[in-house]
Structure 1
Amino acid sequence: MSHGKIREDKTCLNCGHTVEERFCPHCGQENIEIKQPFHYLFTHFIEDFTHYDGQFWKTIKYLLFRPGKLTKEYLAGKRQTYVAPVKLYIFISFITFFLPSLLPSSEEQQERNDVYAFNTKEKENKERIAKILDSVNKENKNMLIPNEAISDLKVTEVNGNNIETDALGETRDGKLTILGAKNMKQFDSLYMKSSENRSIFDFMRPFAKKVFHLQEQGLNKEQIFDKFSETVVHTLPKALFIYLPIFAFFLWVFHNKKKWWFFDNGIFTLHYFSFLLLGILIIIFLSELLSLLPDYSIFNMLSILVSTVAIIYMLIYFFVAHHRVYENSRSISVLKGLFLFIINFFALLCMLLLLVYTSFRMMH
């Protein structure tokens, strides 16, 4: 509580109503003197922050580890102790959109990965050339190739792709192809030759334009996939926001409409989607954190394991929260939950694909 000096005048400066005690009963403003000591700025800030901080962290704790708890508390009327559902969703949605954009692009890490990939390919090329030389020498012992000639050899196949590259240099090809085409000219040529699969070419044309455009800008296959993955991650929160009322509608359809109003289903939806966004944010930060570790298989396995566990928990969370909030028997709750999960999964998937398709076309 603030320790500012109370005004002798009992008239609220904000709304004009009479203030009997410290706070105005009409607007809630504190009836304290306008001018306060300088230290009041800091003490007031600390008091406000600690009050919100305690409310916020309690809300986050229940949101993450107590499925359905916040919804039951809110619908029971206990609303002052926690962050309001709409405010919570907007805040978490904001940080999910905003904070990942502040993460460093990690150019040094990318350079390190490129060097690692280059050394790996170089090693593979050396081993392949050594095998070729051994095979040649076994077949014809009189035909010996000096070691000095190894660096001048060309490898015409790497990882199953017909390419030409220096044995000790970086692969000069390795570009993506769309339906067998390496550029839009080839794509259009294949389109003209194809009479039965033109619909496939028409569908893939926007992707082909974007991929070939990015490759012309100097991006390699890995960089394009990284951009696409980033687009998917940033598109998912948008899809969730658009899908909020649809999800609440399906909940309303599957439950007693006299007991559970659309408002109640909306509160459950806001809390569950806030949890999903927070889960996505945690996965992003864990992925970024693990990406700083050396590119070893054990760390890659750890990253995959953490993401898998997080996704499974996000799926199970829905069934637990649904059972606790709507208070059906376990069998009915699981049955309704499965129907809701399947319907929403396909509906959200369609929306996500549409948004990813649009986002991919707008990617630059």
Structure 2
Amino acid sequence: MLEKYLKRDNLYEYRGTTCLNCQLPLEKSDHFCPNCGQKNSTKKLNFGDFFVEFFSGMFSYDSRFQRTIRVMLFSPGKISKDYVNGKRMRYANPFRFYLSASIIFFLISGISDKFEGAQFVNPETGIREGVAAIKQDSLLKNELNEIPALKKNNIQMDSLLNKIGPSEPEAKKTYKDIYLSQKELDTINIVARTAKKLNIFYRYYKETNTINPDDAITELEYENTGWNKWLYQKAMRYDLFDNNPQLFIDYFVNKLPFIIFFYLPVFALFIWLLYIRRSFNYMEHLIFAFHVQTTLFILYIIGYTIDYFLQSEWGYTLANFVFVFYLYKSMRNFYEQSRVKTILKFIILNIIFFTLATIATIIALIISFSIF
């Protein structure tokens, strides 16, 4: 009976009796290996099979991707509840999906110049710098040029400002004015000593432009240790960021998806403590936290896209308002508590979130500067 079926069903022609991947014995009726999941086939790979497998895998993921976004946006809390209840094959992995959404968000948000309005004050001159400052100064000059008294006497603000000129800056302190010897530094605590060294190194670099840490430390007559070399390198980096603040901002923003990725497990710990009397374990709270944060990124992606094409600001604002309502509904549906308890815990969680976010940002800035 089986031989007769094999003659007319060519699918069985390439079925093996052993899994080529894990060597598990198989039956001819086994389409996939029950141990490792590999397809039971001895057929040599050809060009057509390669593209069929590639596109089937892509559309399979795309189906889960679309379902995940749809449920995540329009059924707050459902995707987390389904996932912890074992319905996982229909959705994308929450951790990988978070990374994908966060990276896309930061790429899209980077298209618009978010820091166009930033104004930086040059510590050397005290003059505002940046795109917004230039625009404001230009508008101010145009307005002053329209003053009747100036127009009547044909006086241009540019020439007037050039004649007046900036006031003479006060005499600046050099590194010699704040210099402490190695012996003097050893008498103060490590925190004050490190801050003092950084200040001395920074001023020394500004005045001498010495790039080699060994030469600088020798000239300053400090111990030639790895710690002092590292501090001098950080002083040079600080000068670079001081003159080009956008450089550090871009560097830090690029690291934010991964910073938040490691921040969320800490936040999930506080969620677990807040719901400690509920029957959820830590991992289930963590999945909920990742799903909620991913939703925020998706809403921001939609908001930034709207603002980019319509040249408006309401898309981003609307995303924030929608997320506040979404977070409440997610907590209500996932944890299934009363409205009063949910609102109270919603307020507490937001306070915890912003407190932890502030601490995490400070730590991340310090670490980012240290490893740059």
Residue pair 1:89, 1:270 contacting (<8 A) in 2 also: yes
Aligned length: 298
1:263 is aligned with what amino acid? M
* 1:23-102 to 2 correspondences below 5 Å: 23-96=32-105, 99=107
Cα deviations by residue, 1:169-226 (Å, 9 ceiling, x for unpaired)? xxxx9xxxxxxx99984899799xxxxxxx9xx699799987754565xx5xxxx3x5
Equivalent residue, structure 2, for 1:341: 350
Q: Which residue of 1 aligns with 2:20?
A: 13
Equivalent residue of 2:161, what SS? strand
Q: CA deviation at 1:150?
A: 3.8
Compared CA separation, residues 340 and 13, structure 1 to 2 (3 A):
same
Q: Residue type matched to 1:164 in 2?
A: G
- Alpha-carbon RMSD across the aligned residues, in angstroms, is 4.5
CA contact (8 A) 2:101 2:298 kept: yes
- Indicate yes or no: 2:133 matched with 1:154: no
Cα separation, partners in 2 of 1:215 and 1:188, compared to 1, 3 Å:
farther
Percent sequence identity over aligned pairs:
27
The CA deviation string for residues 79-125 of structure 1, in whole angstroms up to 9 with x for no partner, is 1111122332343345456x46996999xxxxxxx999878755642
**Aligned in 2, Cα 1:354/1:33: closer, same or farther, shift over 3 Å?**
same
* Residue identity matched to 2:364: L
Structure 1 residues 258-273: aligned runs within 5 Å:
259-273=279-293
Given that residues 248 and 269 in structure 1 are in contact (C-alpha distance below 8 angstroms), is that contact kept between their aligned partners in structure 2? yes
Residues 34 and 183 of structure 1: CA distance in aligned 2, closer, same or farther (over 3 Å): farther
8 Å CA contact retained: 1:23, 1:30 = yes
Are the counterparts in 1 of residues 68 and 91 from structure 2 also a CA contact under 8 Å? yes
2:328 counterpart of 1:319: yes
Match of 2:337 among 316, 328, 334: 328
* Equivalent AA in structure 1 for residue 288 of structure 2: F
Q: Residue 165 of structure 2 corresponds to which residue in structure 1?
A: 164
CA distance 1:183–1:21, change in 2 (3 Å):
farther
Check the 8 A contact 1:129/1:150 in 2, yes or no: yes
Q: TM-score, normalised by structure 2?
A: 0.64
Q: Distance in 1 between matches of 2:253 and 2:99?
A: 18
Superimposed CA distance per residue, residues 301-352 of structure 1 (whole angstroms, 9 cap, x where no aligned partner): x22x222222232333222111110000111111112112212221222111
1: CA distance, partners of 2:10 / 2:100: 30
Q: Post-superposition shift, 1:285? A: 5.3
Contact (CA 8 Å) 2:16, 2:42: kept in 1 or not? no
User: Which amino acid is the alignment partner of residue 240 of structure 1?
Assistant: I
**Conserved 8 A contact 1:239-1:348:** no
Whole-Å separation in 2 of the counterparts to 1:183 and 1:355: 36
Unaligned runs of 5+ in 1: 107-113, 138-144, 158-162, 166-172, 174-180, 192-198, 294-298
Contact in 1 for aligned 2:296/2:323 (Cα 8 Å): yes
Point out 4+ residue stretches in structure 1 off by more than 6 angstroms: 114-120, 181-184, 186-191, 202-211
1:6-27: CA deviation from partner (whole Å, max 9, x where unpaired) = 4243221112221432111221
Deviation at 1:48, TM superposition (A): 1.4
> Would the aligned equivalents of 2:76 and 2:330 in 1 still touch at CA under 8 Å?
yes
Aligned residue type for 1:319:
Y
Counterpart Cα distance in 2 of 1:64 and 1:183: 60
Alpha-carbon distance in structure 1 between the residues aligned to 2:276 and 2:150: 77
Task: Indicate the SS of the match to 1:154.
Answer: helix
* Distance in 2 between residues matched to 1:331 and 1:263, nearest whole Å: 25
> What is the CA–CA distance in structure 2 between the aligned matches of 1:183 and 1:10, rounded to whole Å?
88
Question: What residue number does 2:261 align with?
Answer: 241
Q: CA deviation at 1:54?
A: 0.5
What's the secondary structure of 1:153's corresponding residue? Answer: helix
Counterpart CA distance in 2 for 1:80 and 1:313 is 28
Task: Name the SS of the counterpart of 2:147 in structure 1.
Answer: helix
